[in-house]
Amino acid sequence: MRTRYSSLVSVKKNIMQKSERVLQAKNAALHNAKEALQNSLDALNEIQPPQNGIIADFLSNRALLDSGRSVIHHNEGWVVFAQREVEEAKEQLKRDMIEYEKYQYLELQEIEAIKKKEKIKEAKELDEVALMTFMKKERSA
């Protein structure tokens, strides 16, 4: 049954579904960021310092460790950023769901009011038919 809220309900539903897709994408990005952080931590742990050798080996190992730490720091920032985006997407989804439910409730209320009016109209029509039938019987009797 179409009401004045039907089109708004469908628009709000589309907006809510879009917010759900955005949240899924943000969750995937967060997962990727956490995975990249874990990979960089694992890579740093795999670096073995040289036990002996020339100073160039020690310096190259130190540069490799510094590079690994830099990547870890970058990935930690990425995780924090992705977590913030997920929280913002959740809040947006929550607002969109509230809007959708609000208009859906209004549509249901209007549908109930229309049904109630139709029942009253039908009852009046049945009363009218019964009255006409009764009057017809009275005249013929």
Identify the residue whose tokens are 């955005």.
22
Per-residue pLDDT of the chain in tens (141 residues, 90 and over written 9)? 888 889 999 999 999 999 999 999 999 999 999 999 999 999 988 888 888 888 888 888 899 999 999 999 999 999 999 999 999 999 999 999 999 999 999 999 999 999 999 999 999 988 888 888 888 778 876
What is the distance between the alpha carbons of residues 65 and 30, in angstroms, rounded to a whole number?
A: 25
What is the distance between the alpha carbons of residues 69 and 47, in angstroms, rounded to a whole number?
A: 12
Say what the pTM is: 0.77
CATH level 3 topology of 5-112: Helix Hairpins (1.10.287)
